[in-house]
């Protein structure tokens, strides 16, 4: 009887078969002078300041679970996962951005303000929500 064995591939070397039981939390860089949390940037011209809720934790309105923010984030930060909350009804939207948070939110406001239900090819949940009755971009809070 003859048998062949598949040689080890790059995938075998890089991918784990098992996931760790507990995710390793990101730690704040101790050498950084900035405290962990989400804060307004120092620019006076930043249009995101009125939408930012400065905090070092965020809370789900669905589960009431709180989680810490472990790095320093401001409107000039990029590669951010952010939480957009409606101050009118408490609904939340989780988004991510590769660009700065300021640029992403500028695009988000534009998408909300220019939304047309009949001609909009890409109907995003937050554009529909913030264009519904009694909702405006003034109801947006970013964490």
Domain ranges of the chain: 34-40+48-142
From first to last of its 143 residues, the chain has per-residue pLDDT tens of 677 788 888 877 777 666 666 655 555 444 467 888 888 888 888 877 777 878 888 888 888 888 888 888 888 888 888 888 888 888 888 888 888 888 888 887 777 777 766 665 567 777 777 777 777 777 777 78
pTM: 0.65
Cβ-count burial of 73 within 10 angstroms (0-12 exposed, 13-18 middle, 19+ buried)?
buried
DSSP label of 61: T
């Amino acid at each position: 009887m003859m048998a062949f064995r598949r040689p080890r591939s790059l995938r075998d070397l890089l991918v784990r078969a098992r996931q760790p039981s507990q995710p390793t939390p990101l730690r704040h860089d101790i050498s950084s002078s900035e405290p962990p949390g989400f804060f307004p940037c120092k620019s006076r011209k930043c249009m995101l300041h009125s939408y930012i809720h400065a905090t070092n934790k965020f809370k789900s309105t669905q589960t009431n679970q709180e989680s810490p923010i472990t790095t320093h984030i401001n409107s000039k930060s990029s590669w951010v996962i952010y939480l957009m909350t409606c101050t009118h009804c408490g609904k939340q939207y989780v988004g991510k951005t590769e660009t700065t948070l300021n640029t992403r939110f500028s695009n988000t406001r534009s998408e909300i303000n220019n939304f047309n239900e009949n001609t909009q090819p890409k109907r995003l949940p937050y554009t529909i929500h913030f264009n519904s009755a009694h909702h405006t971009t003034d109801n947006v809070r970013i964490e």
